[in-house]
Amino acid sequence: MHPTLAILAAKRQSVRNKLRPLPFELAVSLPLLAVMVAVFLLGGYRFFFILFRFLRDSPPFGTMLTERLLAMVFLAFLSMLVFSNIVTSLSTLYLAGELEFLLSRPIPYAVTFFAKFWESVLYSSTAFVVMGLPIFLAYGRVHEAPLYFYPLVFLFYLPFLIAPAAAGTVITMLLARIFPARKTRATFCALFVALLAGLAVAAHLLGKGTFAQVEAGVTMSQLMDALRLSDIPYLPNHWISQGIIASAQGDLRTAGFYFLALLSTALLCLELCSWLAPRVYYPGWARTRESDTRRSGRVVLPIFTWLEWLMRPIPRPVRALLLKDLRTFWRDPAQWAQLLLLFGLLIIYISNLRNMPLNTGEPFWQSVISFFNMGATCFVMATLTSRFVFPMWSLEGQQFWVVGLAPLTRRQLLVQKFLGCSLGCILLGEAVMMYSNYMLRVPPLMLALSGVTVASVSAGLVSLGLGLGAVFPNFREDNAARIANSAGGTLNIVLSLLYIGAIIAVQTYPIHALLTGKAPGWHALRGEILTAGLLFALINAIAIGVPLWLGLRAVDRMEL
């Protein structure tokens, strides 16, 4: 057996051993996850089926719009895959615990590299395959594609996933090789700031030059010009969209041409990785293990000194643990780089609201977009808490013998984490939400409602993350991303999304009716407003109180 296959087989066996017998958390969360995925697939299929059918029945421009739409979807997938693989490859190729063992074996470095590379592809690409399923099923059904269309879609997917994975991995390898460990944080911070700045400029120019001109009397030439970015023939998103369209039409000759273009690009990328791995990968991995011998005893970041001074009214044990959590978060570039990317993309979207071809001064669009922005902000907060808050207790178990020396009980430690994380999430969420409200010039009612909603949801999401993280801990894993992707983390994100949906749903009708003038005043909706307020308070009380209570019970019963 090839050494790379042997490493992957060992990884597969390790996963099997963890699933035998099936853990309780998996037995609870897998059915919920299956239901959520099924709802997503059915809803996505229905939406794209209606869209593709409408475009099909709108000749002659419907066909061109369909091609541009598919290419634009794949362009979004391509860019997100590159970002995802940059972050994922940092963890799998440089920070995984088994690397020290693997790289000390008498096997070529390229063998270990490709074993971890395929693992990174699996972690970063599975979600995009699932996201694409309803699109292709709906397209094939609307255009009455032959049966061989569906397996051909998966055949196109494989080389399309490899190209951005290789690109993201090469970027990570070059950064790790050039910059020593002591500059890793600054390097990745500069990288993500540059990426976000580029996205901001591109979104501003694209919106200002195209969508800002698309008004109520839109012409087809204007709409096609707005989607011109997706029609660049030298990018993989154009090849896969054209290949899939040709496959649906039965034109196997054209489909084969575009498939070979994708395949040759993917093989070239793999060859580039194969050439770089023995020359760049191991030296970069070794450099991440370097220590900064020139570092003096002074404080590197004075911000922590300022924070400690500001926290002086807080009891010393709590203050020390809060600063410890902040320093731990800062020292892991893979953690805050993802935070920067999430909120950066959200702020870029909000900053371009003025370029939308809608009259955002109308109460109807103000209320619709405000609720949409509130949902987007809460969704980002759910991603944040699932990725960073849920693993906190599991990671604490690795050094609990030290933390346990603090004059705090376990309950106090969990409550301290809840208060600190809630404060941080509220500050971040309120900053983004208030910026969105400022861009839209929303009325005072929506301003107050969004502020209260984001604050309460932030506390509820932190309680869900910490409580379920204590109920389903994983003290054997030191990788926060893997802990967040576990069955308990999946259950947490599912419950978080249900919680956000329920919170927004109970307040949508009465507020929308008031803002749009459908109701003459408060008195006409007195019963609806009272019901919505009671449901809002009840849902938040359950989301904040129950998970925190379960977490406190769990930490009392733990044997650490």
- Token reading at 43: 């809803």
CA distance 49 to 430: 37
**pLDDT at position 459, please?**
92
- Going by pLDDT thresholds of 50, 70 and 90, the confidence category of residue 186 is low
**pLDDT at position 492, please?**
84
Decide which of 149 and 25 is more confident.
149
Decide which of 14 and 249 is more confident.
249
**pLDDT at position 108, please?**
82
Q: Which of 336, 350, 412, 343 is nearest to 380 (CA)?
A: 343
Q: Tell me the pLDDT tens digit for each residue of 42-61.
A: 888 888 888 888 878 776 66
Considering Cα of 429, then 430, then 435, then 437, what sign does the dihedral take?
positive
Decide which of 65 and 340 is more confident.
65
**pLDDT at position 215, please?**
45
**pLDDT at position 209, please?**
45
Q: Tell me the pLDDT tens digit for each residue of 268-295.
A: 999 998 888 888 888 888 777 664 444 4
CA distance 493 to 477: 19
Domain boundaries, the chain: 62-288, 335-560
Mean pLDDT over the full length of the chain: 75
**pLDDT at position 189, please?**
56
- Going by pLDDT thresholds of 50, 70 and 90, the confidence category of residue 549 is very high
Q: Tell me the pLDDT tens digit for each residue of 435-463.
A: 777 777 777 777 888 889 889 999 999 99
Q: Which residue has tokens 């002659």?
A: 60
- Token reading at 435: 């910026």
- Segments in 91-183 forming alpha helices (H): 99-102, 109-142, 149-178
SS3 content of the chain, % helix, strand, coil (to 5): 80, 0, 20
CA distance 319 to 452: 27
**pLDDT at position 190, please?**
57
**pLDDT at position 462, please?**
92
**pLDDT at position 293, please?**
45
Q: Tell me the pLDDT tens digit for each residue of 325-383.
A: 777 766 665 566 566 666 666 666 666 555 555 455 566 666 667 777 788 788 878 88
Q: Tell me the pLDDT tens digit for each residue of 98-116.
A: 777 877 778 888 888 888 8
Q: Amino acid identity, residue 31?
A: P
Q: Which of 523, 347, 532 is nearest to 449 (CA)?
A: 532
CA distance to 44, 83, 228, 363, per residue, from 78 (Å): 20, 9, 16, 36
- The mean pLDDT of 313-322, rounded to a whole number, is 73
**pLDDT at position 460, please?**
93
Portion of the chain with pLDDT greater than 70, in percent: 69
**pLDDT at position 267, please?**
92
CA distance 16 to 384: 29
Q: What is the largest CA-CA distance in the chain?
A: 79
Q: Tell me the pLDDT tens digit for each residue of 501-533.
A: 888 888 877 776 666 556 565 566 677 778 888
- The mean pLDDT of 418-445, rounded to a whole number, is 81
- Going by pLDDT thresholds of 50, 70 and 90, the confidence category of residue 232 is confident
Q: Which residue has tokens 């400022």?
A: 438
- Token reading at 228: 């011109």
- The mean pLDDT of 308-317, rounded to a whole number, is 71
Decide which of 234 and 60 is more confident.
234
**pLDDT at position 264, please?**
93
- The mean pLDDT of 117-140, rounded to a whole number, is 83
**pLDDT at position 407, please?**
72
Q: Which residue has tokens 């030191």?
A: 478
**pLDDT at position 211, please?**
42
**pLDDT at position 299, please?**
45
Residue 144 has pLDDT above 90, yes or no: no
Residue 240 has pLDDT above 80, yes or no: yes
Q: Which of 71, 85, 73, 166 is nearest to 120 (CA)?
A: 85
